[in-house]
Structure 1
Amino acid sequence: MTMTPTRLAALLATSAALIAAPLSAQEKPPAKPPAAAMDHSKMDHGAAKAEGWKELDAYHMLMMATWHPAKDKNDLAPIRAKATEMVASAKLVAASKSPMACQKPELIKAQAGLPVETEKVAAMVAAKVAAAELKAGLKGLHDSFDVLEGCASGMKH
């Protein structure tokens, strides 16, 4: 059997289709939008939001506005600008009544300690510590906040 130009073209087209098929199956899903593009106000905040812990929700919004830029882009301008506001918000969280789901000893301790931990970061901002030290302090504050945040399933970010 001789290979005619028509048969050769058909064979090449079939081969190309077979080769391309597995590649299309390996396409990567669309990239997750950067944290700055995410609308955190639409996140499910679980039990704390449902029971109306508005103080924690307000602090959470400040934490997101400062932690995500620092973590994702090494941008410390938001924490430098909002440190005092975060201290005031942390004091409101500590003075507020937590939802029943959050009234466990470790969560009550975290709630009471939030202003102290936040004040440490605010003091770092005031002292104009090096960026790496401030970012580490903010990470520690975020980790402390995660304990409280954990009382409300679905509030993690």
Structure 2
Amino acid sequence: EGSVLDQTFHYVRPQENGNKLDTRWMALKCPNNSACAGLLVAACSPHVPGGGLGMQCHRYAMDDFDGPEDKLKQRVKHAGELVAKAETEFCVDAAQMGVGGIDSWGNKPLPEHMIPPDKGFEWSFWLRPFTDEEAPAESRALALAALARRPERAA
């Protein structure tokens, strides 16, 4: 729990950070006097081990954290160049590769920490706005109830 700005770690070279693993839900609250109170992001992934997903949110463009593989072409090259936005960007992942190889400055993750490109994932999540009167947990309960009433998809 904390502010969106607190979720970002300013590495010298901007890179992906702040990911919370095995997350069941995340509530993004709007500032006071907003038209909505917030947005609930809730995992609905029975096929993902643990059922949770990887979630992160930032007041920076996700593309500013880790650009192209050729780091010389990365748009933002130093944390001091990051510009906070008024909007919040969030990312939801089913899986994420390990943080690095034997070193942290160029090698790819070790094979056991890589995600094979041909591996399929089946995962889903809900996006549901909530009001000032609803707590995020109540909003998740309403979303679960709606899912329970939904007819099964045809196989």
TM-score, reference length from structure 1: 0.24
Larger radius of gyration: 1
Q: Would you tell me which structure has more helix in proportion to its own residues?
A: 1
> What is the TM-score of this pair, normalised by structure 2?
0.24
